[in-house]
Structures are given as structure tokens and as C-alpha cells.
Structure 1
Amino acid sequence: MNSGAIGIFDSGVGGLKILGAAVKRLRGEDFIYVFDRSHSPYGNRSDRYVRRRAEKVSELLLSKGAKVVVAACNTATGVGITYLRRKFGAPFVGVEPPVKPAALARTHGKILVLTTCRTAEQANFHRLLEKWDDGNVIVAPQPSLARDVELNFAALSKLKPVVDDILAPYDGEDIESVVLGCTHYYYLADMISAHYGGSARVFDAVDGVTHRIETVLDENDLRSETGKGRVKYIYL
């Protein structure tokens, strides 16, 4: 047993969906969430820059007593998760675009994957595609969508025309599902579904990540019996 908190970080609001799900699922745990907003969004930064930020934020979380660190960002996971595990020797959980569940669920149409530009370039993402793309995956990198979500978080409805413009070029592609390859995009799921009249399934990684956090806690005997679902927020 371990009474330390679960540390979660992202460049901004993207990881809050994962935090919310983790708080509900892991009711005996406490949490620390870091908004690295002064360096947001990670998806437009160089690999070296993102890795350095992930290292600094992880070091901060571990210094605050975090027993597990969750990189709630596809870009940070792709460029840094292996390095972070090796450097700190602590349990880390990452997030990747849920291409696998979308591919397993596919019956007829195309899978549209929305990612940041950096994630689309990463080797681990290409390995994911090599394993699960049978020729029916379309990757659509978005240079500014994560920042749009961050800047308009209090009024996300403003982004409906932006979302429609992003999806419109693929309207003739028989899109069966849309994979959200950035945690910031999770807030746009309803808009994306509405664009397709509810006919396209939207995949995010929230359930997969929270399940993985739970597994890591159990594997390392890190469950807490004293936590009360408290969340501490840190802004950088």
C-alpha cells in the first residue's frame, strides 16, 4: 500500500478528461494535476523540447510524492515515456491514439485519425499504424486544433465551424469512426459525432488509460486506503 498521490500532467486542459475518469474509478486515491500551460501546446514543439518539459514536470510530481506519473498527452508519451521510465525508475503511464480498438471494431468504412503534427511524425505512432492499418486508416494532422481548444475552453461551441471545416474534406470517404489522437480533442467528440449525424463512432483513450493506471497500481502494490479523491492543481 502507498498513500502517495497519482500525478497527471499535460500541457493544458487535455488531461482533465483522464483525471476525471481516474477520480471516479479510483475512489481511494488522491491526485496531483499539472497544467504546463506556459509551454502549451506540446504538439507543435520539437521532440527535444517536449522531452525536456516532460522530464521537468515529472521530476516536480515525484518530488511532491507522486507514486505513479501519467503523461496525459500523446505527444509527450511518444517522445518521452521510455526515457522517463529509464531516468526515474518509477511507474509511468502514457496515452496513445486508440487506433487498435477502432481497427478491431471496424466493419466496412474508413478510420479517420486526428492527431497533432508531432504525434503524426513519431516512430511509435507509425509502428501502431503498421500493426493496425489494413489500408483503411486516414491520418489527418492538425497544426492548431489543440491550441484552439486551449484558448476557447470556456466557449468550445465556437469551434463547431472549425471542426466541420476539418472534417469536410473527408465527407466522401465513408468514415466509420474517428480516432482522437490528442487529449485536447476529447472535448470535441460531440461536435465530431454531430458532423456525421451520429453514424461515426468516436474513440478516445480515457477508459484504456484509467484501466492501465489501475493495473499499474495493483502490479506495484501501490493502492491507497487513505485517499479521499482529493485533487491538487499546479499551474506552470
Structure 2
Amino acid sequence: MDDNRPIGIFDSGIGGTSIWAAIHKLLPNEKTIYLADSKNAPYGQKSKAEIITLSIKNTDLLLTMNCKLIVVACNTATTNAIQELRSKYTLPFIGIEPAIKPAATNSKTQKIGILATKGTLNSELFNKTAEMFQNTKIIEQVGYGLVQLIEEGKINSREMSKLLRSYLAPMIEADIDYLVLGCSHYPYLIPQIKKILPPNIQIIDSGEAVARQTYAVLKDKVGFTNSPENEAVFYTNSNTKVLSNILENRYTVIEKDF
């Protein structure tokens, strides 16, 4: 089954490019369109109603670009808006949520840490998932300020290092053996985080799982692109420089008002 339409991906900024990279690696022939809603980042501090409104706005724009499937590459948008998106539209949606299950299942200390946005940690979907693992102590930490620094291109700044150390110290003291990154921006902080965490603590993000789910939905419901032309188009409603730098200037980034 062939379907040469593009895959649409959106996030509250540049963080979802970590999800895009995992999808692109697994499905190199697929055309992709990425929306970085950096003007409204971070979603994690907004109300559920605001997050739903922004998610609908992004979806509507991707539909005008003829997307066959939409990946909500934002934990906060997934946990707060994906049910509304699925009930409003007919095309498939793939979401991203913190990978609590593999961490809790594999933890030997039965203590895991979750670094996420306030919007994700307060969401009904996150709390329902967390309740499934009552025998595991989950240490939650809101990553205040992290998304803003990433969006400003300050990944390796002293300010970033100081924030990460303050957020991770209580988790290390609590003897976690897994750290779950609950925001698609946070994989860009893994090199920084590894300098802080003891080597026995495993870091989990959701990129590969989302890519596998995208593959499964294309195979079962939509269809693959039958073309070697792996076009990737990136749009941002903010400064193009930070997104271009994250993509190592390999792709064209278009500034668009949305």
C-alpha cells in the first residue's frame, strides 16, 4: 500500500526534532513536515484549554499541507490534547508520553525519576499511567526553565548545568536507577545529564518507541512513501537560527506565521 503524502510532526518548539530524527532514521524514504511552534513555547506552563487550542491550530495547518498522519511530538500536547484531536479528526495521530513502563518494569531499586513539564506531570493521562506502578516510587520533577534555555540555544550554558544539578540531586539521593525524560526537548540535554548522573542510572526517552509506532501505523492503516525522495521541510514561527543549529544546518528552515 503506497501513500506518498508527508508525515506531519508538531511540537512546542525545536524539541520534537529529537522525535523527527528517530522517525527519519527508521523511515528514511518518508516525506516529513515539521512545525516548531516556538512562539508559544513552552506548552508545559499553559492551561489544558490553551494546549488543545494550539494543538488544533497546528493540526489544521498540517492538514492544509496534505499530511497523511500526524505525530504529536510533544509530551504536554499528547497528555492534554490527543484525545480531543482523535475525536475531532479522522486521520491517525501518534502521541508521545513519558516512558514510565519500561523504567518501572526494569528498575531494580524500584525507584525511578521523571523529569517533565508541569503540564505533563499534572495531566490525567500521566497520572493514570503512574498509578499502574504502585510498587515503584516515582520521583517527579518539573523542569522549570529548561525548555526556554534550549529554545534560546543555551544547551551548554552554566545556567543549564546549574538547573539540571538542582533537579537531579534529589533523584540521585533517592537511589533511582532510571531517569525518564518526559519532554521531547530534553534528549538534547543527555550529554549534560550524563555528566551529573552516576553511571548506573539509565536514561530513557521516547523517540525510538514513537518511530516504531509510526512505522506500525503506516504499515497497518496508511501506507508508505514509494519514493527515494526523502523531503524534510521545517517551519518555525520564531527565529530560524536555533532550529537550523539543532539540525546542524543540513535542512532548510522556513519562517512562517502560524
TM category (shorter chain) comes to over 0.9
Shift of 1:133: 3.9
Shift of 1:209: 0.4
Can you list the C-alpha shifts for 1:56-79, whole angstroms capped at 9, x where unaligned? 101110110110100000110011
| Cross-structure match for 2:204 | 203
User: d(CA) in 1 for partners of 2:144 and 2:220?
Assistant: 38
Matched, 1:47 2:48: yes
How many aligned positions are there? 235
Q: State the TM-score, normalized to the length of structure 2.
A: 0.87
Q: Is the 8 A contact 1:114 1:180 kept in 2?
A: yes
Amino acid at match of 1:69: I
User: d(CA) in 2 for partners of 1:53 and 1:191?
Assistant: 30
SS state at 2:13 partner: coil
User: d(CA) in 1 for partners of 2:182 and 2:165?
Assistant: 17
User: d(CA) in 2 for partners of 1:44 and 1:99?
Assistant: 22
User: d(CA) in 1 for partners of 2:234 and 2:89?
Assistant: 22
Matched, 1:180 2:201: no
* More displaced 10-residue stretch of structure 1: 209-218 or 79-88: 79-88
| Cross-structure match for 2:3 | 2
Matched, 1:156 2:142: no
Shift of 1:143: 2.7
Shift of 1:164: 1.1
SS state at 2:132 partner: helix
Q: Is the 8 A contact 1:30 1:227 kept in 2?
A: no
User: d(CA) in 1 for partners of 2:216 and 2:6?
Assistant: 16
Give unpaired runs (5+ residues) of structure 2: 238-258
Shift of 1:226: 1.8
SS state at 1:43 partner: helix
* Structure 1 stretches of at least 4 aligned residues deviating more than 6 Å after TM superposition: none
1:72-91 pair list within 5 angstroms? 72-91=73-92
1:95-174 pair list within 5 angstroms? 95-153=96-154, 155-158=155-158, 159-174=160-175
Q: Is the 8 A contact 1:193 1:199 kept in 2?
A: no
Shift of 1:185: 1.1
SS state at 2:141 partner: strand
SS state at 1:132 partner: coil
Q: State the TM-score, normalized to the length of structure 1.
A: 0.95
Q: Is the 8 A contact 1:193 1:201 kept in 2?
A: no
Shift of 1:157: 4.3
Amino acid at match of 1:200: I
Give unpaired runs (5+ residues) of structure 1: none
Shift of 1:135: 3.6
Matched-pair identity in %: 32
| Cross-structure match for 1:25 | 26
Q: Is the 8 A contact 2:109 2:176 kept in 1?
A: no
Q: Whose helix fraction is larger, Structure 1's or Structure 2's?
A: 1
